[in-house]
Structure 1
C-alpha cells in the first residue's frame, strides 16, 4: 500500500471541501471495501477524508411512515433497529446475511451501496479488466465466471454487485440523498447504478465529488411481510451466488401487491419488475409464481459455468413467495 494523507471531517461542507481541494482524495467511512482495494493496488487515493464523525448516524421515522437512514449508520445498528425490523424485515435479514458481526460494526449504509465488485480479475492488477482499466478487456467472459452475472450484462463486463443490503433497498424503492459542491440532490436507487453497456467503469450516477448523506425508504405496507434469502457456497459469510428480497400482499387468494429483487446476478441489485407485473392480480399459487419467474429470467444470458443461476433464481422466487403465502395464512 502506498503512502497517503489522512484528514478527519467534522461536517458535510468540510468533507466536501476537502475532497474538492484534492482530486486524488476519497471518502473513508468503515473502510471494509476501500482499504482492501488499497492493499491490492486497485484503489490508490492520495488522501483519505474520514467521514465517520459526520452527523449522519440517525434512523428516523418519517411523518408518512417511511424511514430515513443516515449514510454512516452502521450495518449492525441498521439490522438491530426496531422500526427496520418491523417495517422492512427483509432489509434487516439482508444486512445480517451480508457479513460477520465485526464487519457489520464497521461497514456503513452509504459505503455498502458504493462497494466495488468482488470479481477476481478486477481485484488483480496484473489482469485486464474493463471496470478497472477501460478498454483492456473482460477475461471473465472466457475465464472463471461461475459467480458472475446473468442479467444486464454486456461483452465488456459480467461482474456482479456484491451487496445484500442493496437488494432489499431496491425491492422497496429506496431513494439516495447526496450533497455535492453544486448542492443537494436525490437519486432513486433504480437510477443510481448505471447500465454496463461499454462503460462498466462508470458505475453510478452520483455526481463527481458527491457525498451520500442518507437513504430514504418510502412507506410500503407490503414490506412489513417480506423475506430475504441468500444462497452461498458456505454458511459462514460468503458472498451470494444468488439471493432474493421478496414481499407479498395476498387478498382472497389473489396477489394484490408484490416486490421482488435479485442479488448476485447483475452489476447492480436487480429489481424483478417483469415478474411483479405478471404477478399483480394473478392467483397466489405455484403456477403463477413459476410463470412470473420464467418471464423475468427470459432475459438472462448465462455463461457456460453459471447457467445454474437461472433455475436457482426460479426456485428462490417460488420458495419465498410460497413461504410468504403460508405466513399470511397463519
Structure 2
C-alpha cells in the first residue's frame, strides 16, 4: 500500500478527517516508518466546508482516488445519506472492483452502502446510525456494537476514536505490528484495541468503584508467558472474579479472556518480526503454550500463519538472536 486518498465533501466531520490525515499523511521517516503518497480529494476541488463552519482548500478531484491503494470515505451529513453523490458511488464501486483497500469512518459507511459494495457483507457505523443503516440497506449485516469490521478488503468503523482503531488495524496488516506500534506511540494512543470491542457502555460504572484497571492490564502484558486466568487477574486487582470480569468488560470493552488472547497475538507478532525464535519458543513466551495453539489463534485473529507473517514482516536488520 503506497497511495492513500481521503475523500471529503461539504459537511465533513473535522475529527475523523484529522484521524485519516494523522494516520496516513504525516512524514514518519525519522521513526523508520514508510511514508504514503497521501492526498485529500473531493468531488469538487476548492473550498470544502466542514460541519462546524470552517473550510479547507482541496486541490485534488477524485481522479487520484480512482487509482489509490486505499480510499477512505469520511463521514457525511445526514442530509446526504439518501442522496449520495453519484461520483462517490462510482468511486466506491471501482475501488472494490480493482481490489483496493476501502475504509469508511462513521457515517462514511452510507456512501459504501449506496454503492452496493456492502451488500451481503458485515459492516458497522456509529451506533447511533446503525439502525438507520440496517433499515435503509437490509442486505447489509450491520453490527452496531463493534469498533470496526473488516470484511475482505473493506473496513468500516464506528464514530470518532474508532476511526483511529480501524486505521491502526490496517497499518498492522500492511506494515506489521512493530511499525503500527511506532505510529500509535507517536499518536499517543494504545495500539491494541481490537475491532470486536464494544462501542459504548450501556450502564456507566458507579462513581465510587475505585481506580482504573490499567495497572492490572500492564501487569498482565508483562506476564503473558504465565497461564493467566480471570481468578489470577482478579486476585491481582484485589477483587472477586465476578466483580473483576464486570469491571474489566466495562473499562476495556472486551472480556478478560478475549483481551488476553489479543495481547498474546500482538506479542507473538512482535517476536516474529524482531527475533529468530522458533514457533515453540514464541508460543511459550506469548502464553499460547504450543505452536499448534499459536497457529490456531493466528489464523483466527489475523487470517494468516505465523510463518507467512514472519516472511512478510521480519525486520532482518533488527533481529534479536535466540
User: Scaled by the length of structure 2, what TM-score is found?
Assistant: 0.30
> Highest relative contact order (Cα 8 Å, sep 6+), 1 or 2?
1
Structure showing greater Rg: 2
Q: Which structure carries more strand by proportion? A: 1
User: Scaled by the length of structure 1, what TM-score is found?
Assistant: 0.30
